[in-house]
Chains A and B, each alone.
Chain A
Amino acid sequence: MKGFPTRQPPAAQAATTEQIVPLSALNTGEHGVVVELLGGRGVLGRMTSLGFTPGAEVTVLQNYGHGPLIARVRDVRVALGRGEASKIQVRR
């Protein structure tokens, strides 16, 4: 099993405009492309069947920085808990 996502150090963030971050780090209105999914089989099964697979484009429709958030993937609005959203790694 893979571990939890580790945040990149600030220096690396400044160096590249394209960074890999958890979906929960995207602000409202930001886009990203799914790179990797973390987590157990059950969660992965639900994520993939709802449309989150590597290569899928994601737009965050609502993210207040706490609590659940809403993202659009494959034309569908999906509500995710913060924990679940942090397991979806996206390229900004």
Chain B
Amino acid sequence: MKVTGVGHAIPPTGDTAPVLMALAGQPNVGKSTLFNLLTGLNQHVGNWPGKTVERKEGTFTFNGRVYRLVDLPGTYSLTANSAEEVIAREFIIRERPDVVVAMVDAAILERSLYLVAELLCLSAPVVVGLNMIDVARQEGMEIEPDVLAAALGVPVVPMVATKNQGVRELLETVDRLVSGAIPYAPKTPRIRADHREVLERIGELVAGYVPEPYPPDWVAMKLLEGDRAVTAMMQESMGDRWEAVHDVLRAHDDALVAVAGGRYEWIGRMVRAAVTRPRAGQIGLTERLDRWATHPLWGLLLLTVILGLTFWLTYAIGAPLQDLLDTYLVGGLAALVGGWLSGAPTWLHGLVVDGVIGGAGSVLTFLPILVIFFAVMGMLEDIGYMARAAYVMDSFMHLMGLHGKSFLPLFLGFGCNVPAVLGTRVIESRRARLLTIILSPLIPCTARMAVVAFLAPAFFGSAATLVSWGLVLLSLLVLALSGVLINKTMFRGRRAAFIMELPLYHLPNWRTIGLLVWQRSLAFIRKAGTLILVVSVVIWALSTLPYGEIETSFLARIGRWLEPVGRPLGFDWRLMVALLTSFIAKENSIATLGVLFGSGEDVGLADTLARTFPMPTGLAFLVVQMLFIPCVATVAAIRQETGGWRWTLFSLGLLMLISWGVGWLAFRLLMLLSL
């Protein structure tokens, strides 16, 4: 194997340059377990540049050598079908890691070696971590790692990452490979005989045009597979000469299946040598559990129970914790700082206590709910249930151009929109993920429902429950219609293919889940926290300046200025201001109305509102409130997950339009009815 370029020189022991080690593997092979085991809290989670795919990196020391470990996204192959696949291969080709540890699942050896078959064609040295040999043994399989290693020409280390078995041996092997103590001579899979000639032909045509540092053989193979990214790259690099390649490719547009088939044939030969006892045909635990979990009726029932438990947990633990944090931590801090600032000017007191501490408090009080949701989501994903939930809900989500995986995040939105948006990470397809993020603010969260619960009785008396349910149904209807419309227009009806592995069930790994909760919560506080704080302070300032009262504040002026927009729905400036303040937190609109209608008591406010505004305006306000732009925390989450302002602003604009449109319709309809 020829290794070119700088940065690949292997540092001698004791050298300060860390060894760059990449961790590759298909989803569900225990990659993150190994990553967490090696790096512990010594890890950093961010995004890949320009992508919304999570990038995990960490360091550790072994045998006096410092390693920089990069966790590549879990992918089934290295063909440019998704952002993850492009990231993984670009990293290996461009960053030239000193070693790639490829994790494979021993219990599904053939399928897991597919990625290895692709990795071996790239220039970075590969060590195979043969994980979950305990599961394979349970299923009656016996694998000889040495034979597999000889067949592949790369080191193979048997291991059980969850039990910390074989990890030391893996690192020792890596150490010896990196220091050159063991030779590296991989056997690479060959293409199926009937396509060998055409591959050679393409190789000849592209020779001399392949940009550094891409391996020419690999490029020829990817062209034959019809890889979009590589095709675009070569088209640009070859200019006029591309035509010849294009002609060859067009005559072989079935080559993708042949290439993949060839890889599996090759894998089959490797595996046949190494597996001394094949899997016994017994019915495993997973199959037995799946008879229930994926059943069209029992599966739905199970899902309902699990979701019910999640919400119960949230309300039983999350809500009281939220109150405690709010009263003692935020309240206590406010009192403490307020005491220090007693001599300071009023504006400073207000800014620090109401603006900054209030804003930071709203970030903090989100935490209990977030932690619970992250933990539940993480656990369901870790034990393997998430894929079943997606399967059970697929038909239903189909209607919106989404598939099953979007269901759980959306459902979480009933608790709080923030985890819903963050939870969309389980969706692989970028398009489906984007659509789910855009739709999630339309799920009525608990805070919105609290406003409805307060205002609906004021306007509708005994019909309040009916109206509340109607509003929830309306939200879901708007969500479904928006889903269909956005899908039909912007995404042109294309729907990501629903093909998904149902992994084996296994016991939860608390370490993995714990680290996931920790990382996600930290990322939220770090990224979203700042935005929430800034917006809270700005809105607070607008609502107090210049005279310290909301009635005469800049916010009130903005409300008056916006009044014409609200007039078709019967809104006056005070309702507009209430909507504006609901941007910090949905329940704020009640507090604002309380101040603006000069009644501190909630009881009085409901009556005052009902006397001030006719029923159609009341309904329109409730409708707008349900469909309006989400709170700043959700907006921050949307920005974090879509990777910028573009889709965030699109989403906000859309919601503004929808809420006003539907609100106006509700207003007109009720006006007609009451005539």
Residue ranges of A at the interface with B (Cβ–Cβ < 8 Å): 1, 37, 41-51, 53-56, 61-62, 64, 66-68, 70, 73-81, 83-84
Contact = CB atoms under 8 A, between A and B. Distances in A.
19 contacts: A1-B253, A41-B228, A42-B81, A43-B497, A45-B81, A47-B499, A48-B77, A48-B261, A51-B111, A51-B264, A68-B498, A70-B502, A74-B111, A75-B279, A77-B501, A78-B501, A79-B294, A79-B390, A84-B497
Given A54-B257, A75-B279, A81-B403, A70 B111 contact: no
A79 B500 contact: yes
Nearest to B260: A48
Nearest to A73: B111
B307 to A, nearest CB: 20
Given A48-B257, A48-B260, A56-B264, A42 B497 contact: yes
B98 interface: no
Contact of B261 (A55, A66, A67, A74): A55
Interface string B484-516: 000000000000011111110000000000000
Contacts of A83: 497-498
Contact of A75 (B77, B110, B387): B110
Contact of B296 (A54, A67, A75, A79): A67
B133 to A, nearest CB: 15
B286 to A, nearest CB: 7
Given A55-B261, A68-B391, A76-B108, A45 B77 contact: yes
Interface string B84-113: 000000000000000000000001111100
Interface size of B as a range: 35 or more
B137 to A, nearest CB: 14
Contacts of B404: 68
B2 to A, nearest CB: 28
A79 B110 contact: no
Contacts of B502: 70, 77-79
Q: List the 10 closest A-B pairs by CB distance, nearest first.
A: A48-B260, A81-B498, A49-B77, A49-B76, A77-B502, A67-B395, A53-B261, A45-B81, A79-B391, A43-B497
B602 interface: no
A46 B404 CA distance: 17
A34 B236 CA distance: 37
B264 A66 contact: no
A64 B392 CA distance: 12
Given A37-B257, A48-B256, A80 B498 contact: yes
